[in-house]
Structure formats: C-alpha cells, structure tokens
Amino acid sequence: MSQNVNSLAWNGRSWTRVETWTFIAFGFGYLLESYIFGLGSIATSWYHIPSTFLKSLLLAWAPIWLIIGIIVSGPLSDRLGRKNTFTITMTLYGLGGVGIYFSNTYVLVLVFLSMLLFAAGGEMNTIMVATHEMMPREHRGKASMLQLNFINVGGIVLALVSILAAHAYNQNVGFQRGMISITALVVLVVLIFSRARIPESIRWLMKKGRQAEAEAQVQRYYGYDLATWLELRAPKKRATPTTPIKRVGLGLRFYASTSAAFGNTAGFGLMTYVLGPRFFSSDTAAILLVADGVQLLAGFFGLMADRVSRRWMFFASTTLTFFVTVVVWILEGAWSKNLTFFFILLVILNLFNSVAYLTEDTVKGEIWPTDRRGTYTAVVRFISIGVYAGTIFVTEHFSLRGTVLFNAVVWFVAALGTFVWLLKGVESGAGASVEEASQEA
C-alpha cells in the first residue's frame, strides 16, 4: 500500500485531480455566496426607499435569509449528505439568478434575493463542513483558508460589475441588474461542471455506515481503495503517543466559535455593508471594493495555515483587529472629513480582519464530530449572523462615531472568545488532522 500511496502523492503529499476540482468547486461556491450577500447593499441604490426602516430591512435581508438557509442546510447535509445538499442549493441559485433580472420593484428584489440568500447560506455551511472531511491533512488548513479567500473575490466582482454597469449606462438600474444576474449564472455553470467531478464526503459515508458506497466512491473518483485513502489522511504519528490529548467540551467549543464568529460577521459587516449605505451612500461600491481587495491580498497568509498554530492565529488576528478598530474610533473626527484617510484606515483594518475571518471560519468547521459537523457549524453561524442582523436595527439611529464604537465592542467580544480558546482549546492547526481537531482521533 505504501508504494501505491507514494505514487499518488504530489511532493510527498496526497493531492490529486479530485482535490483540485474540490478546491475549484468550493472556492467558486464561496465566491458566489459573497457576491449574493453583498447584493442587498448594492440594491439600496436601485429604487427610492421611503423610510429608514425599509433601507435597514434590505440591509438585514442578507443575514436574515442567510441564517435561514444555514439552519436548514446544516441538519440536511448531515442527513442527506454534502453533495445532495449542493444539488438543492445550486437549483435555487439558478431560479434566483434568473428572477433577480426581472426584479423591477423593491418587493421583487426581496423575494428573489431571499431565494438566492437561502441557497448561499446552505452553500457556505456545507462547504465549510465538507472541506475538512475531503482535503488531505497536509493541505487541509491552507485549502480551507485559500477557498475562503474567494469570498473576497466575490465582493470585488460584485463591486466592479456594479460600478462598471452603472457608469457604462448612466446609472441604468435594469442594465446593472442584468449584468449582476448574468455574472451569477456564469459562476453557477462553473459550480455545476466542477461538482460533477468530486465525490460525496467519504468520511460522512463511513459515519453513516455506508462502507460499500464509500469504497465505490473512492474507487470511481480516486482510482484506488478506501484503505489507501484513509492512510493518506491519517493523523500524523506522534513522537510521544502516550501523551494524553486535551479534551474540550462542547460548551467551550460553542462559546469560543460563536463569539468569534459574531465578532467577524458583525465587525466586518457593519464597516463594509452598513457604513457605506448609511453614511457614504455614493461610495458604497468603492468601500466594498477596497475592503474585499485588501482582504484578498491578506488572505494569502493562509498559505502558512498548515505550519502554524491555529489557536495563536485565532487570538492574535482577532485581538489586533480589535485594537485597530479602537484607533479608527479615536480618529473618527479626522477621517469622517477626509475620505482618503478613511480608506487608508480601512486598508489597515482589513489586513488584520482578513486573517481573523479566515481563521475563524476554518476553526468553526473543523472542531465538531463528523456526524454532527453540519448541524453544529450551522448553529454557530445561525446565532452569530442572526445577532449581526439584529445589530443593523440596533445601530439604525447611531451616529457615525457611535457605530464605530459599537463595532469596537463587537470585536472585544470576539477577542475574549479567542483568548479563552488560546488557553483552553485544542490545537487544530500545525498539521493536525481533522480527527484531532474534532477529538475523534
């Protein structure tokens, strides 16, 4: 078997065409999810919205329907499988993508955007779960983080399409809507093509007792047997195997992952998706472009994900983001009168925020047992994004300075959670297998 394993290895690692297609399928899935999530902010400029509440509703529409998709798809993916769940979400993408083109009223935008967002919530949750189950141990961390970096690509694509469509046809809303719809459908074609070339999660099949099906899937897609597949993904041999492994209860796992997830979702969301429409309406797309552009560049830090401690990355990136947010609050009087200074601070903030976001999204998908990974990841995301949706209404009448101060408090909550995880949590980085991260080893 070892000779077979070595012949399949890439640079001594288990990476085949299946992993390449998986990376493409999941990366573009994140791209489309992010693209759709930002549509609410862009759509605020499509029609006259007569009240502050209706504008807040459109901004909150994204997290509200995202969490509905999350909480439905989490248990669904544990019951039906990861790949079957993708079939459902991609079908909804197609229907919603066509529908948004014909959404010539505020109400129709809400209807078809809810369909797209429901699918996006299911997509992202299932990708987070399946990545850790399907990627080899040596590449699991960086595959997860580099896939997550496609979220930033999605924001950039949305901002560019919106800006170019608006300027090319003199703010023609119909043309802008059409370009946004066509772009989403093109990405959907990539998803369909790539996902036809990847198997169901082998680990999920085995947990469900479907051993024969797991064997058949490995043979069909990888061209070798299940034992070889498992050997390629086995936990690394420890020099001192008698050393007891730290056990972390579900309560601590939920506290640390949920507080950090809330900080990242609300902290990034309020500064990127909410601040623009409320205080810099003519620069909403530009804010989205700068924030996601910086996050994309910083996201390549994920290449180090399999060589460094995940706990330290988790704590350091979140805490540094908190401190930078405090600085942004202190300097509000200066940057609120100088948009160039604002964008400089936005760049600095997102350099740290990006690493925090990538680490947090990786951790909350890897620390749960396989048979409940979809459900538990969904619960964390449902709570954190749901509370973020609430903050949009809570801060509805806040001043600019008050909004940034509130954002600093949000990041403090996240930093506290990652500090507790640093002290009490299990190490899931530095080459650890998903069995070690989930404590199933």
- Of residues 176 and 118, the one with the higher pLDDT is 118
Quick one: which of 324, 315, 313 has its CA closest to 267?
324
Confidence band, pLDDT 50/70/90 cuts, at residue 408 = very high
Give DSSP secondary structure letters for 44-85.
TTTS---SHHHHHHHHHHHHHHHHHHHHHHHHHHHHH-HHHH
**CB–CB of 118/21 below 8 Å?**
no
| Residue 7: predicted pLDDT | 43
Q: b vs e for 390-407, b when ≥16 Cβ sit within 10 Å of the residue's Cβ?
A: ebbeebbeeeeeebbbbb
H helix or E strand, kind and range, residue 342: helix 339-366
| Residue 267: predicted pLDDT | 87
Mean pLDDT of the chain: 84
| Residue 245: predicted pLDDT | 59
pLDDT at 170 over 60: no
pLDDT at 11 over 70: no
| Residue 72: predicted pLDDT | 94
- Of residues 366 and 238, the one with the higher pLDDT is 366
Span 29-88, pLDDT tens digits: 999 888 888 777 777 667 677 677 777 777 778 888 989 999 999 999 999 999 999 999
Average pLDDT over residues 277-305: 79
User: DSSP alpha helices (H): ranges in 81-105?
Assistant: 82-101
Question: Amino acid identity of 118?
Answer: F
Q: Is 170 exposed, middle or buried (0-12, 13-18, 19+ CB in 10 A)?
A: exposed
| Residue 283: predicted pLDDT | 75
CA angle 214, 217, 220 (to 5 degrees): 150
Confidence band, pLDDT 50/70/90 cuts, at residue 6 = very low
CA separation for the pair 430, 305 (Å, rounded): 7
pTM for the whole structure: 0.81
CA separation for the pair 146, 151 (Å, rounded): 10
Average pLDDT over residues 119-127: 92
pLDDT at 326 over 60: yes
- What CA dihedral angle connects 399, 317, 62 and 375, to 10 degrees? -140
DSSP state of 371: G
Question: Token digits for 41?
Answer: 């902010």
Q: Between helices 339-366 and 250-269, what is the axis angle to 10°?
A: 160
